[in-house]
Homo-oligomer: A and B are copies of this chain.
Amino acid sequence: MLPTEEKLDPRVKRTRSLILQSFESLIAEKGFESISVQDVTGKAQINRATFYAHFADKYALLDYLISQKFMQEIEKRTLNACHYTPDNLRNMILAVCDFLAHLHSDCAQPHQQFESLVEGTIKKQIFDLLSYWLTQTKSKIPTEIPATVATWAIYGLASLYSHSKKRPALDKFVDDALPLVAVNLEQFA
């Protein structure tokens, strides 16, 4: 379904990897908002023009980075090629919570702009994956509305969890939250 590892020109892989690495460390160091494209290319030791051959701007780069990292989180739990079950849903919620929690500890001063960009990217990913799950069932039940509701609910829960001062035990948290999301998806189980 998701061929993350395509056969690419080694130069392209190398350049992307250099860009991503330096971008990631710059985010940790000084925060997304204050990073310039020149900072990234300087640290990566690539030409600025080359950057623009890969990404439209630093927002596209952030989108790509976040997508990549989140996808890894999903693949780690082998949620990328399955269908809807309450247990898979539970694991997805865990994945999003983990992801956001790590993100907040890895990034300097997460400001509003950064947070909402991340939110957009992640919700897009969640929605696509959920939609895929729900269409795996033979029935022709429309998926857009339930997938939307679940997506927002899941992200909202993970956001709450990752921002809470003293984070509750994650398992307990998800135990409480899961039913409220699952109830909207029962027909696909």
A149 in the interface (beta carbon within 8 A):
no
- Chain A residue total in the interface (Cβ 8 A): 6
A111 on interface, CB distance cutoff 8 Å: no
Q: Name the residue in A10, A13, A47 with the highest tally of chain B Cβ atoms < 10 Å from its Cβ.
A: A10
Contact with B along A95-131 (1 / 0, CB 8 A): 0000000000000000000000000000000000000
Chain B nearest CB, measured from A7 CB (Å): 13
CB 8 Å contact bits of A1-26 with B (1 = contact, 0 = none) = 00000000010011000000000000
Q: Which of A45-101 contact B (CB under 8 A)?
A: 45-47
For the complex formed, measure the closest distance between the CB of A41 and the CB atoms of chain B, giving whole angstroms: 10
Q: List 6 A-B contacts (CB under 8 A).
A: A10-B45, A10-B46, A10-B47, A13-B45, A14-B14, A14-B45
